[in-house]
Amino acid sequence: MKVLVAGGAGYIGSHCVRQLQAAGHSPVVVDNLVFGHRAAVAPDVPFYDADLGDKAAMEALLKREEIDMVMHFAAFAYVGESVTEPRKYYENNFVATLRLLEAMLDAGVKKFVFSSTCATFGVPTSLPITEDLPQAPINPYGQTKLDVENLLKSFCHAYGMSFAAFRYFNAAGAAEDGTIGEDHNPETHLIPLVIDAATGRRENIKIFGTDYPTPDGTCLRDYIHVDDLARAHIAAFPLLEKAGAGHFYNLGTGTPNSVREIITAVEQVTGKRVPTVEAERRAGDPPSLYADSSKAIRELGWKIKYTDVTAIIETAWRWHRDHPKGFGS
Ligand code: UFG
């Protein structure tokens, strides 16, 4: 398959590009490099610096490269910022995706894979989170992702598009060969911040909330290796052969880990002590989020390689240790 990877220079997109190559597909990357890194994309992969919202440019690209399918990872994903600057999120995550889908229809490309999020569930009504739980996002970031999910259902019904949408839990880790990994600016995610605290690049890690109704009082999350996420996407390709069909999958390991457990695991992996500070809860954090991924396992034959969070952190540690300034190292 010739696959256009939108956001292919970003964290999850760049890992997916590698997995596509490993599976014998031909990725083409489009990324405006607002958050992506040119160095995250191998030189042998065709690269376009363009905006998804530029319909004419995208339509021309789809035709020129004779693309069979689009995978879409390009989005803003800072939950707090989405609350204070929702315009940016609706524009970039929703409107630009609508333009991309229009370009696809006009170019005759009808297969689509979409990065969604467990944030579409808001505070879940039960745990673990299955695909059919009510979706009620509690911030504009989650809302824009849910809006795209609904847009896809309509386009699938009306225009015969086929799609798979994946609700990621907490993407983590780095490529096994240590060549690419997580590099956000600013970084807000727990594992890279704890690693920074372990190496002294930051003074400490603030634990946001110690009075949650969880076993150790800190939030529970489901950390899933970025390459496991990528492999699920590729496993869904056969489903896209059927026109007019849409599929949703939750992707996590199903094992919840608390903030304190992550800190302990980073200490074990790095052999360094992590200074911690107990802080107030962060607004908008649900106490517990973890997946029931049995649908993906059953229907896609998805196999989770990294079932243990320590193994995930080992890959992250290798990347951060060898690239202290991320792609700028
Ligand atoms: N945390 C801390 N201290 C920190 C950073 C995080 O205690 O310095 C805690 C958070 O409160 C949370 C856990 O660590 O309990 C994980 O936080 P992350 O910021 O790493 O990730 P989130 O769980 O907030 O991820 C959410 C959604 C994803 C979404 C992502 C967007 O679950 O679906 O935000 O970045 F994609």
Closest CA to 117 of 255, 234, 224: 224
Q: Which residues have CB under 8 Å from 249's CB, separation 6+?
A: 131, 164, 165, 166, 167, 232, 236, 293, 295, 296, 299, 300
The domain that holds 288 is classified in CATH as 3.90.25.10
**How do beta strands 2-6 and 26-30 pair?**
parallel
Residues contacting ligand 1 via CB (< 6 Å): 77, 79, 117-119, 168, 170, 188-190, 193, 205-208, 219, 221, 259, 282, 285, 289
In a domain, 228, yes or no: yes
The reported pLDDT for the residue numbered 329 is 85
pLDDT at 29: 98
Tell whether 52 and 157 lie within a shared domain: yes
What is the Å distance from ligand 1's center to 190 Cα?
Answer: 6
Residues 302 and 245 in one domain: no
Domain check: are 108 and 217 in the same one? no
Cα 267 off chain centre by: 25
pLDDT at residue 157 in the model: 97
The phi and psi torsions of 123 (rounded to 5 degrees) equal -90, 110
* Residue 213: inside a domain: yes
Query: How many angstroms separate the CA atoms of 255 and 137, rounded?
Result: 22
259 Cα nearest atom in ligand 1: 14
pLDDT at 118 over 90: yes
| Three-state secondary structure call for residue 279 | strand
Q: Residue 46 falls within a domain, yes or no?
A: yes
Residue 85 contacts residue 57 (beta carbons within 8 Å): no
Examine residue 47 and state whether it is found in any structural domain, yes or no: yes
Q: Let me know: does 27 contact 17? Beta carbons within 8 Å.
A: yes
Specify whether the CB–CB gap between 207 and 278 falls below 8 A.
yes
Q: Specify the residue with its C-alpha closest to ligand 1, atom 15.
A: 219
Confidence (pTM)? 0.97
- Contacts of 311-314 with C-beta under 8 Å, sequence gap 24+, read 311/225, 312/172, 312/173, 312/191, 312/223, 312/224, 312/225, 313/172, 313/173, 313/191, 313/195, 313/262, 313/265, 313/266, 313/269, 314/269
Look at residue 242 in the predicted model and tell me its pLDDT: 97
Whether residue 243 sits in one domain with residue 218: no
Q: What does the pLDDT average to over 226-233?
A: 98
Please choose, from the candidates 313, 314, 291, 312, the residue with its C-alpha nearest in 3D space to the C-alpha of residue 302: 291
The verdict on 105 and 61 lying in the same domain is yes
Whole-angstrom distance, CA of residue 240 vs CA of residue 163: 6
Assess whether 141 carries a catalytic annotation.
Answer: yes
Q: What does the pLDDT look like over 257-315, one tens digit per residue?
A: 999 999 999 999 999 999 999 999 998 899 999 999 999 999 999 999 999 999 999 99
Number of domains in the chain: 2
What are residue 223's DSSP bridge partners?
Answer: 170
The residues near 143 (Cβ < 8 Å, ≥ 6 apart) are 137
Residue with tokens 């990065």: 115
What range does the domain containing 195 cover? 190-222+254-328
**Whether 279 and 227 share a structural domain:** no
Quick: pLDDT tens for 103-115: 999 999 999 999 9
Provide the terminal-to-terminal Cα distance of the chain, rounded to the nearest Å.
Answer: 33
Q: What per-residue confidence (pLDDT) applies to 284?
A: 87
DSSP-derived letter for residue 288 is B
Does the residue 236 lie in any domain?
yes
Residues 13 and 108 grouped into a single domain? yes
In a domain, residue 178? The reply is no
CB neighbourhood size of 202 (10 A):
15
Do both 23 and 153 map to the same domain? Answer: yes
Q: What is the mean pLDDT of the chain?
A: 97
Considering the domain architecture, whether residues 25 and 168 belong to the same structural domain is answered as: yes
**What is the pLDDT, as a whole number, of residue 46?**
98
Give yes or no for a contact between 34 and 10, defined as CB atoms under 8 angstroms apart.
no
Instruction: Please give the distance, rounded to the nearest whole angstrom, from the Cα atom of residue 296 to the centre of ligand 1.
Output: 23
* Active-site option among 11, 89, 141, 306: 141
Contact 220, 214 (CB under 8 A): yes
The last residue of one of the domains, among 233, 251, 269, is 251
Q: What is the CATH number of the domain that holds 51?
A: 3.40.50.720
Evaluate whether residue 215 is within a structural domain: yes
| In the predicted structure, residue 101 carries a pLDDT above the cut 90 | yes
Q: Are residues 107 and 214 in the same domain?
A: no
- 262 and 157 part of one domain: no
Give the separation between CA 149 and CA 140, rounded to whole angstroms: 14
238 C-alpha vs ligand 1 centroid, how far in Å? 33
Residue 307 lies in a domain: yes
Band the pLDDT of 146: cuts 50, 70, 90. very high
Assess whether 310 and 238 both reside in one domain.
Answer: no
